[in-house]
């Protein structure tokens, strides 16, 4: 087994780390406080090839592997999870789904600009009463012959106001249950498509999260992805890959909090010695580092399985479950190590703690991950 990153992976890691330090860190506190979308930073990430990392160069992507994607997500998330979640959605949910399941016309029209970072994509599954349950869709798409008539509400949509291309999951035939669900490509600005107010969130405040309303939106027949009734399988496949991205985001949040804690423990004096010389602090740092390393290996394993076209649903859920809980525990300890300074914004760890919580919720809660894992174990 090979545990070392390749030279290419290390180069990608350095590029992502430099970008995070030089482009994301300046202004991060202000963006968080004022819920400012990192538009300039996202544009530069597109120029670096990070908005379509795993997409084939044929469609404007970088042609990288999933391990590279995990590495980039970790490095960006150490500094700014609001930016990394936009990268995650565009890569894992939107670009992945379009490249794997879209037809050539859809790829040329929608995938190419998404992969190049010219526009941003959004994935619309969650509903007021459905969450991430793709089988309980209330949004409907009625077949009208040459088009579908889309009606319903989606909520908690990352990129709700900044995205231009939306993949919307909707029920076409209620009687068929999950076999009657379809996935559609919807463009911003279509008549009947309304973006609701921005959510005032606890964490990842720089990313824009909105509810979306569809009132008799006409969706051309050619904008359905796959055969009729393929939407449920599409959503499940997209979420599997998405969990690798969110696991890596959680890993990055934990890593960022840990690195800040090590630095602070070396510099801060208490009881006549550095915090780092106190055994209580040493034990906290040892536990943090151990859990982070375990989370990283789980993320890389899931990514490796995906790269090698092997089943990875269980591995992705394990990574997402463990990494998100590690992020929560690590950031809480980071605030504790910083003491009173950890409670103020300029030391960054309080933001990382707020950001960590969402990793336990989106792409399926920790409870959902346990269901997925246990189903695989009991097959």
379 has a pLDDT exceeding 90: no
Residues 159-186, mean pLDDT to the nearest whole number: 94
Position 49 scores a pLDDT of 96
- Are 298 and 315 in contact by the 8 Å Cβ rule? The answer is yes
| Catalytic positions, written as ranges | 363
Position 36 scores a pLDDT of 97
Q: Domains (ranges, CATH) in the chain?
A: 7-119 (1.10.540.10), 122-231 (2.40.110.10), 234-378 (1.20.140.10)
User: Per-residue confidence at 162, pLDDT binned at 50, 70, 90?
Assistant: very high
Position 131 scores a pLDDT of 64
User: Per-residue confidence at 134, pLDDT binned at 50, 70, 90?
Assistant: low
Query: Closest by alpha carbon to 146, among 213, 222, 212, 76?
Result: 222
344 has a pLDDT exceeding 80: yes
169 has a pLDDT exceeding 80: yes
257 has a pLDDT exceeding 80: yes
Name 149's Cβ contacts closer than 8 Å, sequence gap at least 6.
141, 142, 216, 217, 218, 219
Burial class for 286, CB neighbours closer than 10 Å (0-12, 13-18, 19+):
exposed
Give the helix/strand (H/E) hosting 12.
helix 7-19
pLDDT tens figures, 214-227 = 999 999 999 999 99
Mean of pLDDT over the chain: 95
133 has a pLDDT exceeding 70: no
132 has a pLDDT exceeding 80: no
Name 206's Cβ contacts closer than 8 Å, sequence gap at least 6.
28, 31, 32, 35, 36, 37, 38, 80, 82, 83
- C-alpha 5, offset from chain centre: 23
């Amino acid at each position: 087994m090979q545990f070392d990153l390749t030279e290419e992976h290390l180069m990608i890691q350095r590029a992502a780390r430099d970008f995070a330090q030089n482009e994301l860190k300046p202004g991060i506190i202000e963006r968080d406080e004022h819920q400012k979308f990192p538009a300039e930073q996202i544009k530069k990430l597109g120029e670096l090839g990070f908005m379509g990392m795993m997409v084939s160069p044929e469609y404007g992507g970088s042609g990288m592997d999933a391990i590279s994607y995990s590495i980039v997500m970790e490095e960006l998330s150490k500094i700014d999870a609001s930016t990394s979640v936009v990268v995650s959605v565009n890569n894992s949910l939107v670009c992945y789904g379009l490249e794997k399941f879209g037809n050539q016309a859809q790829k040329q029209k929608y995938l190419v600009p998404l992969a190049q970072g010219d526009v941003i994509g959004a994935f619309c599954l969650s509903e007021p009463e459905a969450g991430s349950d793709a089988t309980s869709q209330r949004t409907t798409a009625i077949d009208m012959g040459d088009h579908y008539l889309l009606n319903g509400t989606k909520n908690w949509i990352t990129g709700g106001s900044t995205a231009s291309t939306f993949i919307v999951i909707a029920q076409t035939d209620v009687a068929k249950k999950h076999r009657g669900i379809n996935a559609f490509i919807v463009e911003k600005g279509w008549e009947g498509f309304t973006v609701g107010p921005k959510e005032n969130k606890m964490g990842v405040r720089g990313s824009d999260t909105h509810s979306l309303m569809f009132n008799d939106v006409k969706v051309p027949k050619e904008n359905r992805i796959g055969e009729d009734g393929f939407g449920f399988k599409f959503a499940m496949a997209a979420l599997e890959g998405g969990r690798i991205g969110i696991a890596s985001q959680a890993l990055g949040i934990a890593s960022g909090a840990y690195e800040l804690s090590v630095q602070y423990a070396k510099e801060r004096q208490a009881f006549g010695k550095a915090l780092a010389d106190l055994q209580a602090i040493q034990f906290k740092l040892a536990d943090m580092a151990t859990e982070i390393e375990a989370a990283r290996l789980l993320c890389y394993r899931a990514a490796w399985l995906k790269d090698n076209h092997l089943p990875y649903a269980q591995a992705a859920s394990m990574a997402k479950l463990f990494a998100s809980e590690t992020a929560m525990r690590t950031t809480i300890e980071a605030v504790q190590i910083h003491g009173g300074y950890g409670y103020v914004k300029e030391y960054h760890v309080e933001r990382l703690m707020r950001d960590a919580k969402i990793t336990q919720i989106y792409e399926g809660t920790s409870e959902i991950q346990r269901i997925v894992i246990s189903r695989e174990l009991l097959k």
